[in-house]
């Protein structure tokens, strides 16, 4: 078969798009668009990396910082949000064995988020609107540096992303709680207790007191609890970002109509606190919780066993609820007017709990895998291990910088964005998502897709892992030597580190190209395009026939809300 | 003058400790990945709830211990927490406006080793950063500069030399290169005794 035929038709006929249900098609659309946005973010990252090595003649400061502004918008919202939302929109009904509340809403969700991302990106590309994702007040309304139209487009784009996010949240919660026709109605209270992880906590208390468990079989499985819990933070975060957008929009109006509003009427420190409270819910709330939930699900699917210390895991999700709402001050450790008690309590001590909650998820996942030895080193297992390693590196790096002594020397340096942010997102989160993609591929395609090349999958894995860790490491070394993250160096001050980081960045970009080639060669472009056409199957059908997942332990895992029974460890 | 840890020493130790940690965790996951594919030698497991709770206790100890350690070993943590009670020897007031640092005197501002210097930085318009850097671009310290607030930092210099100011926070493309070369010179020929900082 020629390369052209392979890419057009896929490996061994590729994807059977006719067999896909509406929800399978929507999930695939969402994930594919998310993967394309990942490629755009990787390309932007590479342009910035190259500019840090040697300034590129076609890029001036305005353009450089415009790329830096849209890079996280494309990477986090356009890519990660879409992939995660797509996966969860499928997994919640799949694991709960009931139809999605609204298939139509799910379709509008990905389009709204993808459209919003494109609009925000265009604001940077065309108008060089560049207040960065942090939009520290009053920079986003400094119209001596930025065009009003650029600000308007950017705010509108981000608002669309947040509206799409709210649509996803509504659909998820509605799916968890509604009773479809012909289904038995479930009481609300135990569902809510389970959704917040309270039943796991009460089970632990009862065990200590020598009593019967509060809930022997919690109504919601652990991954659903994590999705529910993470979505609380997603909701609050969307409200805060929308609020900031409205404020900027009001000032844009004031500028256009000449109302003469003083930008200092808004207190910059208060704004920064509120904004970081919301923004931090992405990093320390939904990412950590969604990731923990995904690890648990992957560990259960890979091993075909129940989770080690399940009640602790449920209780930890409840603890993370409190922790994620109270840690934002670690972003303000270098803000001198911020009260010291806030820095100590929220910035240092409560933030340290993230080491505990994420450390627990790390341990529980590894032990669950360990207890199921011997496992086959499948793609999902190796990428899951990569994801675990990413957070194993990035979370302690974050805890180190969330210290008043160390933060004085590392704040806004390449350390923050390298070993912490990029290792967390690229190695921790993205590799976890690749693991989820590999494990969900047969479920989402009714096992019609045969992977084109395992060698390419392995190459993708190693290039991504080494590139991600390497880039973080060289950025971290530059940060320790004083290189700032939001400053331009044009005299070659750190070009050695940046050259090495750029090589690693190139490995990451190549890994994505290889992965996309392998997926397209497996699925086929013709078949891929068909996922954007309507399905002929009833909306209530989640999968045509339940597809048992072949676990790496050799066991077949049924698509059920309550996985294999096993003695509780805790 | 009593010995106090310099930023170079703190960052050097951080680099060493984190590198050891990173290599350990990479090795652990690598070893795990190898062993998890092998048949276990016996069905007996050492992973008991006791092991789990010990691990949990270690996480708590590490999380809290880092801050106790740095409070005791890094002097500027105490300076920060007690800055309201410490009377500075010198106060340097700097204003930032239109992406420019306005120094109180002609540069370089000359400071003495061991002097308790309070930098008071005010912004008239945007959020900026204020950081002092050595000629090799390594950082001495930094803070954020919030507009319309007094942004104070207390510092005691221990190394002689000339330092540059850089804005450590992004303030739009016009502030991409914001800084003042050779803004501060520290003289250690007349050392001032350190006292009342702990």
Q: For residue B139, what is the domain's CATH number?
A: 2.60.40.420
| B151/A contact by beta carbon, under 8 A | yes
Residue A209, chain B, CB below 8 Å: the answer is: no
Per the structure block, which two tokens stand in for B1? 């003058």
Task: Judge if B13 and B72 occupy the same domain.
Answer: yes
A154 touches chain B (CB under 8 A): no
Query: Which parts of chain B register pLDDT below 70?
Result: 1-4, 191-198
pLDDT average, residue stretch A129-148: 96
Residue A449 CA to residue A464 CA, distance in Å, equals 23
Confidence of residue A319 (pLDDT cuts 50, 70, 90): confident
Region A402-419 average pLDDT: 97
Is B125 within the bounds of a domain? yes
* Residues from chain A contacting residue B73 (CB–CB below 8 Å): 405
Question: CB-based contacts of B137: which residues, under 8 Å, 6+ apart?
Answer: A481, A482, A483, A493, A494
Inter-chain Cβ pairs, chain A and chain B, closer than 8 A: 226
Res B90: pLDDT: 95
Chain A contact for B126, CB < 8 A?
yes
Q: Which two tokens stand for residue A563?
A: 């996985």
Looking at the partner chain, which of B39, B63, B77 has a beta carbon nearest the beta carbon of A373? Answer: B39
End-to-end CA distance of chain B: 14
CA contacts within 13 A on the Cβ side of B97: 6
Q: Which chain B residue lies closest to A146 (C-alpha atoms)?
A: B172
Confidence label for A3 from pLDDT (cuts 50, 70 and 90): very high
Identify whether residues B35 and B55 lie together within a single domain: yes
Mean pLDDT score of chain A, rounded to an integer?
93
Q: Could you tell me if A405 lies within 8 Å of chain B, comparing CB atoms?
A: yes
- How confident is the model over A278-282, as a mean pLDDT? 91
Q: Does B162 reside within a domain?
A: yes
Locate tokens 């979505």: which residue? Answer: A231
Residue B32 and residue B64 share a domain: yes
Q: Any idea how long chain B is?
A: 198
According to DSSP, residue A551 is labeled -
Is there a single domain that holds both residue B102 and residue B53?
no
- At residue A444, does pLDDT exceed 70? yes
Classify the C-alpha dihedral A41-A42-A45-A47 as positive or negative: negative
A537 Cβ under 8 Å from any chain B Cβ: no
Which pLDDT does position B187 carry in this prediction?
95
pLDDT of residue A567: 47
**Chain A residues 7-46 with a CB less than 8 Å from chain B:** none
| More confident: A214 or A451 | A451
Q: What is the pLDDT of residue B6?
A: 85
Report the SS3 class of residue A512: helix
Q: How far apart are alpha carbons A280 and A241 in whole angstroms? A: 11
- Residue B43 contacts A, CB cutoff 8 Å: no
Structural domain ending residue among the three candidates B80, B111, B140: B80
Q: What residues of A are in contact with residue B74 (Cβ under 8 Å)?
A: 405-406
In this structure, the dihedral spanned by the alpha carbons of residues A198, A319, A337 and B113, taken in order and rounded to 10 degrees, is 170
Interface test with A, best of B45, B98, B147, B179 (most A CBs within 10 A): B147
Considering the domain architecture, whether residues B49 and B102 belong to the same structural domain is answered as no
Contact B37 A373 (CB under 8 A): yes
Q: What pLDDT band is residue A98 in, cutting at 50, 70 and 90?
A: very high
B36 vs A contacts (CB less than 8 Å):
369-370, 373-375, 381
Q: Mutation target for B interface from A151, A336, A361: give the one with most B CBs within 10 A.
A: A336
Q: pLDDT by residue (tens digit) across A60-73?
A: 999 999 999 999 99
**Residue holding tokens 């895992």?**
A557
End position of a domain, from candidates B80, B99, B128: B80
Closest CA to B175 of B121, B120, B122, B98: B98
Q: What is the pLDDT of residue A555?
A: 63
B63 is in which domain, residue-wise?
7-80
Identify whether residues B24 and B51 lie together within a single domain.
yes
Contact B63 A356 (CB under 8 A): yes
Q: At what angle do helices A82-96 and A288-303 cross, to 10 degrees?
A: 50
Query: Mean pLDDT lowest for which of A307-321, A431-445, B72-86?
Result: A307-321
Interfacial B residues in 163-182 facing A (CB < 8 Å): 166-174, 176-177
- The beta strands (E) that lie in A46-152 are given as none
Across the interface, of A355, A389, A400, the residue whose CB is closest to B14 is A400
pLDDT in tens, A4-55: 999 999 999 999 999 999 999 999 999 999 999 999 999 999 999 999 999 9
Alpha helix stretches (DSSP H) within A258-339: 268-280, 288-303, 310-325
Closest CA to A430 of A75, A158, A71: A75
pLDDT category at A284 given cuts 50, 70, 90 is: confident
The pLDDT of residue A468 is above 80:
yes
- The predicted pLDDT at position A566 comes to 43
Residues of chain B with C-beta less than 8 angstroms from the C-beta of A493: 137
Query: Which ranges of chain B does DSSP label H, i.e. alpha helix?
Result: 7-35, 49-73, 75-81
Chain B within 8 Å of A484 (Cβ-Cβ)? yes
Q: Mean pLDDT, to the nearest integer, of A158-170?
A: 97
Is residue B24 one of the residues assigned to a domain?
yes
Percent of chain A with pLDDT over 90: 82
Short-list B105, B98, B112, CA closest to B156: B112
Q: What confidence score (pLDDT) does residue A361 get?
A: 94
The model's pLDDT over A485-514, given as tens digits with 9 standing for 90+, comes to: 999 999 999 999 999 999 999 999 999 999
Asked if A482 lies within 8 A of B133 by C-beta distance, the reply is yes
CB contact under 8 A, A409 and B139: yes
Classify residue B195: in a domain, yes or no.
no
**pLDDT value of position B195:** 52
Query: Does the residue B131 lie in any domain?
Result: yes
Using a CB–CB cutoff of 8 Å, tell me whether B50 touches chain A.
no
| pLDDT of A561 above 50 | no
pLDDT at A320 over 60: yes
Of B25, B64, B81, the CB nearest to A393: B25
Q: What pLDDT is stored for residue A199 in this prediction? A: 86
In three-state secondary structure terms, A12 is helix
**What pLDDT is stored for residue A550 in this prediction?**
62
Q: Which of A360, A403, A493 sits opposite B67 (nearest CB)?
A: A403
Position A549 scores a pLDDT of 60
Could you report the per-residue pLDDT of B73-93, keeping only the tens digit for each? Answer: 999 999 999 988 999 999 999
Q: How many domains does chain B have?
A: 2
Residue B49, chain A, CB below 8 Å: the answer is yes
Beta bridge partners of B162: B185
Residue B99: how many other CB atoms lie within 10 Å: 18
Q: Using the beta-carbon criterion (under 8 Å), do B142 and A411 form an inter-chain contact?
A: yes
Domain ranges of chain A: 3-185+221-557
Residue at a domain's end among B80, B114, B133: B80
Task: Kindly state whether residues B104 and B167 are assigned to the same domain.
Answer: yes
CATH number given to A3-185+221-557: 1.20.210.10
Chain A residues closer than 8 Å to B11 by CB:
409, 480
Give the gyration radius of chain B's Cα atoms: 23
* Confidence (pLDDT) at A562: 38
Three-state DSSP class for residue B180: strand
* In a domain? residue B1: no
Report the distance separating Cα A139 and Cα B173, nearest Å.
11
Q: How far is B188 from chain A (nearest CA, A)?
A: 22
- Here the ipTM equals 0.94
Nearest to A336 among B32, B152, B177 (CB): B152
In a domain, B112, yes or no: yes
- How sure is the predictor about A551, in pLDDT bands with cuts at 50, 70 and 90? low
Cβ–Cβ < 8 Å for A130, B170: no
- Determine whether the interchain pair A131/B14 forms a contact, defined as Cβ–Cβ distance below 8 Å: no
Distance CA B93, CA B122 (A): 8
């Amino acid at each position: 078969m020629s390369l052209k035929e392979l890419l057009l038709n896929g490996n061994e006929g590729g994807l059977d798009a006719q067999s896909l249900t509406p929800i399978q098609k929507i999930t695939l659309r969402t994930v594919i668009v998310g993967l394309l946005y990942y490629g755009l973010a990787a390309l932007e990252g590479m342009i910035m990396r190259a500019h840090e090595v040697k300034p590129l003649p076609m890029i001036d400061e305005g353009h450089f910082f415009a790329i830096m502004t849209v890079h996280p918008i494309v990477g986090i919202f356009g890519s990660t949000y879409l992939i995660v939302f797509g996966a969860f929109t499928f997994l919640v009904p799949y694991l709960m064995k009931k139809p999605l509340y609204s298939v139509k809403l799910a379709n509008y969700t990905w389009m709204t988020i993808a459209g919003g991302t494109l609009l925000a990106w265009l604001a940077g590309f065309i108008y060089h609107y560049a207040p960065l994702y942090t939009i520290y007040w009053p920079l986003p309304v400094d119209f001596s540096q930025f065009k009003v139209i650029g600000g308007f487009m950017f705010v509108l784009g981000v608002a669309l992303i947040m509206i799409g996010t709210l649509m996803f949240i509504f659909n998820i919660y509605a799916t968890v709680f509604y009773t479809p026709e012909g289904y038995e109605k479930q009481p609300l209270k135990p569902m809510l207790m389970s959704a917040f992880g309270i039943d796991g906590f009460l089970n632990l208390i009862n065990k200590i007191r020598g009593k019967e468990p509060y809930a022997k079989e919690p109504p919601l499985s652990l991954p659903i609890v994590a999705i529910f819990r993470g979505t609380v933070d997603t909701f609050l975060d969307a409200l805060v970002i929308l609020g900031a957008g409205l404020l900027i929009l009001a000032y844009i109006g004031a500028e256009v109509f000449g109302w003469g509003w003083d930008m200092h009427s808004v207190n910059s420190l208060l704004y920064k606190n509120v904004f970081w409270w919301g923004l931090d819910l992405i990093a320390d709330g939904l990412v950590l919780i969604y990731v923990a939930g995904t690890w648990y699900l992957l560990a259960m699917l890979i091993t075909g066993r129940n989770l080690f210390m399940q009640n602790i895991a449920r209780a930890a999700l409840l603890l993370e609820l409190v922790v994620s709402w109270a840690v934002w001050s670690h972003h303000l450790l270098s803000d001198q007017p911020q009260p010291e008690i806030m820095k100590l309590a929220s910035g240092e001590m409560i933030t340290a709990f993230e080491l505990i909650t994420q450390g627990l998820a790390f341990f529980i996942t590894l032990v669950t895998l360990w207890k199921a030895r011997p496992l086959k080193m499948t793609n999902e297992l190796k990428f899951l291990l990569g994801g675990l390693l990413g957070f194993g590196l990035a979370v302690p790096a974050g805890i180190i910088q969330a210290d008043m002594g160390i933060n004085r020397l590392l704040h806004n340096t390449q350390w923050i964005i390298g070993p912490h942010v990029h290792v967390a997102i690229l190695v921790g989160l993205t590799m976890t998502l690749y693991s989820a993609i590999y494990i969900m591929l047969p479920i989402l395609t009714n096992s019609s897709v045969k992977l084109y090349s395992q060698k390419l999958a392995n190459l993708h894995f190693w290039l991504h892992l080494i590139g991600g860790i390497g880039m973080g490491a060289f950025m971290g070394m530059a940060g320790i030597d004083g290189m700032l993250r939001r400053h331009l160096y044009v005299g070659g001050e750190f070009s050695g580190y940046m050259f090495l980081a750029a090589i690693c960045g190139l490995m990451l970009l190549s890994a994505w190209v290889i992965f996309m080639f392998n997926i397209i060669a497996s699925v086929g472009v013709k078949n891929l395009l068909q996922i954007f056409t309507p399905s002929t199957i009833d909306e209530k059908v989640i999968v045509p026939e339940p597809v048992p997942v072949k676990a790496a332990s050799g066991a077949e895992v049924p698509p059920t809300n309550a996985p294999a029974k096993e003695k509780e460890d805790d | 003058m009593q010995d106090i840890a310099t930023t170079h020493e703190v960052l050097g130790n951080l680099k060493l400790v984190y590198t050891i940690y990173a290599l350990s965790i990479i090795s652990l996951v690598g070893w795990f990945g190898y062993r998890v594919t092998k048949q276990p030698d016996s069905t007996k497991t050492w992973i008991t709830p006791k092991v789990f709770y010990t691990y949990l206790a270690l996480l708590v100890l590490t999380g809290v211990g880092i801050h106790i350690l740095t409070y005791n070993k890094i002097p500027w943590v105490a300076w920060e927490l007690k800055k309201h009670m410490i009377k500075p020897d010198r106060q340097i007031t700097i204003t930032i406006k239109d992406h420019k640092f306005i120094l109180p005197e002609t540069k370089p501002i000359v400071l003495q080793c061991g002097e308790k210097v309070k930098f008071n930085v005010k912004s008239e318009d945007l959020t900026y950063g204020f950081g002092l850097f050595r000629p090799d671009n390594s950082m001495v310290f930094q803070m954020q500069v919030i507009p319309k607030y007094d942004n104070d930092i207390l510092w005691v210099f221990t190394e002689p030399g000339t330092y540059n100011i850089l804005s450590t926070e992004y303030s739009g493309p016009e502030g991409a290169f914001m800084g003042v070369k050779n803004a501060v010179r520290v003289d250690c020929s007349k050392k001032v005794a350190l006292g009342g900082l702990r």
